């Protein structure tokens, strides 16, 4: 099957290329003038970087392989500093490029390192997990974590391109693949209800790369994000809707010290955001019930331990969407109709959580 090219518009337009066996598209995404390519990849998964390095070497580039810690452990200022030092040692210039290969944490780190080296060098992402393909690698957000919160240090640095080779999904462990579905489901609730209908039609198929609707689900979610970030790169308005479910999700990740999959935390956050929407009179219980049913049908969690609320509430105070002391939530005014809830009462926040903690 031929590759699909999904354009991301804006001041720095680029394409997201989706297909099976599409690694040959990588040199075209790098563009002209690049001599040295620094390939950032998880140290624990060298096999995912070998085909990328091989394709680049075959195309004539000088390739530098830079392994980093797996998962969120990579997203620290210490690891970023190690990459900057490596870029200097290997002579990465402003006309060269960085390629991030791996999951969302790796592409976040690679994007941040590229954005801050020499005030910005070209980066191309090759996401190898479902979550990274449909969310993290698309949109130009790059960042690292601090003890105070997730992604609080970062920049907007659009990639020169994103290459989603669906063949890599076959080797993704099932729990990780299912966790990636949370971001796809989020896209259905905020913008494209057809996504929800496709999953409802075949929940078991949605849980596997070989599912009947898999490619359509991936491309639809990428299109949702492309439309949003193309219109609002710097989250000055529209882009904020992509944070639906994420305020509680990021707090859960902090409480769990990131020993929970991002998609699992997002799934719980989606239920919480739906409950906030219902309790604020914006949607009926049917939307909450539908949220729970879809998430549970693919095996994602929909509840969290009730005793964690005080700690979760404290972590939400430093959420990126907060403005001063005003906490902001993305909620629903209907399926496919996101809205905003500013400065909700403590009673509303806690009541919604009790529904998630039941």
Which residues line the annotated binding site for Zn(2+)? 183, 246, 262
Q: Say how many CA atoms lie within 13 Å of 113 toward its Cβ.
A: 34
Please answer whether residues 30 and 97 qualify as being in contact, where contact means their C-beta atoms are separated by less than 8 angstroms: yes
- C-alpha 39/C-alpha 228 separation (Å) is 28
- C-alpha 40/C-alpha 18 separation (Å) is 21
**Known binding positions:** 70-75, 104-108, 128-129, 141, 150, 183, 246, 262
- Residue 16, both tokens: 């997201």
Q: What is the DSSP letter of 139?
A: S
- C-alpha 269/C-alpha 303 separation (Å) is 9
Is 246 among the residues known to form the active site?
yes
Per the residue annotation, which of 225, 261, 315, 321 is the catalytic one?
225
Is 239 among the residues known to form the active site?
yes
Per the residue annotation, which of 243, 253, 278, 321 is the catalytic one?
243
Per the residue annotation, which of 183, 240, 253, 275 is the catalytic one?
183
- C-alpha 133/C-alpha 155 separation (Å) is 19
Angle (CA) 97 134 349, round 5°: 120
Please answer whether residues 94 and 121 qualify as being in contact, where contact means their C-beta atoms are separated by less than 8 angstroms: yes
Partners of 338 in the β-ladder: 332
Strands 161-165, 14-19: parallel, antiparallel or unpaired by DSSP? Answer: parallel
Is 306 among the residues known to form the active site?
no
Is 151 among the residues known to form the active site?
no
What 3-state class would DSSP assign to 348? helix
Is 225 among the residues known to form the active site?
yes
Please answer whether residues 112 and 100 qualify as being in contact, where contact means their C-beta atoms are separated by less than 8 angstroms: no
Is 183 among the residues known to form the active site?
yes
Per the residue annotation, which of 122, 141, 157, 186 is the catalytic one?
141
Per the residue annotation, which of 250, 254, 292, 321 is the catalytic one?
250
Per the residue annotation, which of 239, 261, 278, 292 is the catalytic one?
239
From the number of C-beta atoms within 10 Å of its C-beta (0-12, 13-18, 19+), residue 119 rates as exposed
Is 145 among the residues known to form the active site?
no
Element (H, E) at 301: none
Please answer whether residues 277 and 334 qualify as being in contact, where contact means their C-beta atoms are separated by less than 8 angstroms: no
Is 261 among the residues known to form the active site?
no
**Known binding positions for NAD(+):** 70-75, 104-108, 128-129, 141, 150
- C-alpha 296/C-alpha 316 separation (Å) is 25
Those residues whose C-beta lies under 8 Å from the C-beta of residue 288, and which sit 6 or more positions away, are 271, 274, 275, 277, 278, 355
Is 256 among the residues known to form the active site?
no
Is 141 among the residues known to form the active site?
yes
Per the residue annotation, which of 125, 157, 221, 262 is the catalytic one?
262
- C-alpha 295/C-alpha 199 separation (Å) is 10
Per the residue annotation, which of 89, 119, 259, 358 is the catalytic one?
119
Active site residues: 119, 141, 183, 225, 235, 239, 243, 246, 250, 262
């Amino acid at each position: 099957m031929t590759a699909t090219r999904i354009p991301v518009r804006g001041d720095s337009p680029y394409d997201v290329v989706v297909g099976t066996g599409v690694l040959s598209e990588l040199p075209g995404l790098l563009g002209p003038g690049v001599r040295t390519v620094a390939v950032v990849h998880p140290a624990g998964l060298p096999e995912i970087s070998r085909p990328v390095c091989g394709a680049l070497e075959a195309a004539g580039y000088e390739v530098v392989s830079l392994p980093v810690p797996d998962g969120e452990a990579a997203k620290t200022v210490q690891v970023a500093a190690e990459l900057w030092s490596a870029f200097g040692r290997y002579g990465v210039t402003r006309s060269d490029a960085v390629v991030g290969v791996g999951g969302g944490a790796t592409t976040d780190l690679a994007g941040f390192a590229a954005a801050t080296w020499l005030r910005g060098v070209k980066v191309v992402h090759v996401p190898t997990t479902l979550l990274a393909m449909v969310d993290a690698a698309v949109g130009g957000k790059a960042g690292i974590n601090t003890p105070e919160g997730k992604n609080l240090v970062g920049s907007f640095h659009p990639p020169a391109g994103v290459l989603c080779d669906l063949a890599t999904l076959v080797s993704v462990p099932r729990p990780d693949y299912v966790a990636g579905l949370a971001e796809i489901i989020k896209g259905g609730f905020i913008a494209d209800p057809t996504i929800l209908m496709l999953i409802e039609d075949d929940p078991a198929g949605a849980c596997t790369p070989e599912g009947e609707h898999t490619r359509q689900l991936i491309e639809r979610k990428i299109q949702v994000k492309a439309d949003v970030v193309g219109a609002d790169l710097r989250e000055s308005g529209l882009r904020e809707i992509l944070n639906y479910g994420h305020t509680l999700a990021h707090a859960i990740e902090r409480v769990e010290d990131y020993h929970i999959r991002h998609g699992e935390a997002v799934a719980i956050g989606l239920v919480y955001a739906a409950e906030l929407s219902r309790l604020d009179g914006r949607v009926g219980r049917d939307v909450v019930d539908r949220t729970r049913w879809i998430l549970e049908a693919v095996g994602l969690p929909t509840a969290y331990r009730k005793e964690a609320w005080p700690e979760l509430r404290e972590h939400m105070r430093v959420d990126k969407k907060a403005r001063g002391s005003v906490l902001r939530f993305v909620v629903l005014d209907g399926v496919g109709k996101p809205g905003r809830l500013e400065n909700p009462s403590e009673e509303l926040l806690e009541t919604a959580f009790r529904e998630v903690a039941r």
